Chain A
Amino acid sequence: MEFPDDLKYSREHEWVLVEGDIATIGISAFAEDQLGDVVFVELPAPGDTVSKDDAMGVVESVKAVSDVYAPISGKVTEVNDDLPDNTELVNDDPYGDGWMVKVEISDPAELDDLMDSEEYQRFVAEADG
């Protein structure tokens, strides 16, 4: 299971890629593996404002329903329109084509609450215990 070094991770298993003031967000390989085959994805709309730690979307696998939480606050600038009709992308390529939303970061200080790859791997190892 991979946890790319250039990403930051939340305790709710979202990943964040920061490029300037834009954050791209998806769910981690651990999250998609735990869920199993994803069959439904619901995302916020461009222009929506999301708040750190609030539910901003839903992923459903065959067996489970899971909220997707905003790992940071900001305004949604773009969503992955391919995802609702190609939900398998979340499993096949969680850090690539399975990305979910791009958010204009409103408070960069919130990024400090996220884990780096190494910290997240330790967090997951404990959660999976």
Chain B
Amino acid sequence: MALKRTPLYENHRRAGARLVEFAGWEMPVQYEGILAEHAMVRERAGVFDVSHMGQVEVRGAGAIERLQWVTANDVASLADGGAQYSLLLTADGGIVDDVIVYRLSAERLLVCVNAANREADVAFLREHLSGVDIDDRSDELALLAVQGPLATSLLAPLTSVEIAAVPSFCFVEAEVAGRSTLAARTGYTGEDGWELYCAADDAPAIWDAMLEAGAAVGVGPAGLGARDTLRLEAALPLYGHEIDLETAPFEARLGWVVKLDKGEFLAREALLRRREQGATRRLIGIEVVKGGVPRQGYPLLAGGRRVGELTSGTRSPTLGKGIALGYVEPQSARVGVDLGVEIRGREVPAKVVSLPFYRRPGRSEK
């Protein structure tokens, strides 16, 4: 099957991107190099094409109550212009996807979903939500992100409305480079930044305008490679790695997303039961100082015994050491515990550390 291409495919080719398959899409994994792009985002800002992400609009009278039924977070707590991280949960409490819900109005909610889960999500929503329209807008919409400490100052002069005062996890309708967007102060890098939803046809003009403005301040395009190392340093989960249908939110450090007191919802009974039973495994972060790069699938060891497995790992460009997320038995999950990680048949020392691995300067603990 032919890979799908975003409206910025030609822009990526011209920029010298290395294009790879990701979730059925031909996407830029890097331009200059993952480490350079990672540092650029942490120190200045980077511009990402994440148009592979899907967008599903839930529309109609009762949209909030309907979406409330299949999500973990409290949709009713959103005001117009508000966004929240949430989970689509099955009746068993398994995670169908992790999403961001944007409230456009009381009768219009935009759900941003992972590219790989788009079709499953739409089917899940259609199965469980009746009386509202489930409109898959993924093909008509593009999604660009600008992330990093300079993101807001870069974007502001290109934007028709004042954006600096927009709080985190809020959005405004704004023209960027003269094109209509929904400009949301959200992201997946651990930095301040914006995600811009726009018509697919408008994406190249916005992309070019951001890169033109960025060139003067050392801001350029960043690929999915840097996006992955950035999100991992920020300990943000990636569907298919840290979370999936078998994962309960509590064991994945996502208990804060679940609002059990929001009223009845599909997964509520299962979640109460699973919470009662207690988690059989917990998501932890480890650091590995030497002996190789910890990676997905590598066993975690305690006293030579296998106690879990890594779900994502890399060498942290910011910290200069190996970092990884993984699941272990609860008794091995305490910060400070010495574990081992098996790298190419050899046990290498690892330590359980507090998460996130990286927190941007000036940002207080949650």
Contacts and interface: CB of A to CB of B under 8 A. Distances in A.
Contact of A37 (B35, B292, B295): B35
Contacts of A40: 292-293, 315
A62 to B, nearest CB: 5
Interface size class of A (residues with CB under 8 A): 10 to 19
A37 B34 contact: yes
Interface residues of B, number: 16
Interface string B20-34: 000000000110011
Interface of A: 36-37, 39-40, 42, 58, 60, 62-63, 65, 91
16 contacts: A36-B30, A36-B34, A36-B225, A37-B34, A37-B35, A37-B36, A39-B35, A58-B292, A58-B344, A60-B292, A62-B34, A62-B315, A62-B317, A63-B29, A65-B295, A91-B33
B292 A62 contact: no
Interface in B206-246: 225, 229
A60 B293 contact: yes
Interface in B55-101: none
Most B-side CB within 10 Å, residue of A36, A42, A62: A62
If over half of A's interface residues share one DSSP class (helix, strand or loop), that class is named, otherwise mixed; here it is strand
B147 interface: no
B344 A62 contact: no
B186 interface: no
B293 A65 contact: yes
Contacts of B292: 40, 42, 58, 60
B35 A62 contact: yes
Contacts of B33: 36-37, 91
Nearest to A88: B35
Nearest to A34: B18
A37 B18 CA distance: 13
Contacts of B229: 62
Contacts of B189: none
Nearest to A55: B344
Contacts of B29: 63
Nearest to B322: A40
B113 to A, nearest CB: 24
B51 interface: no
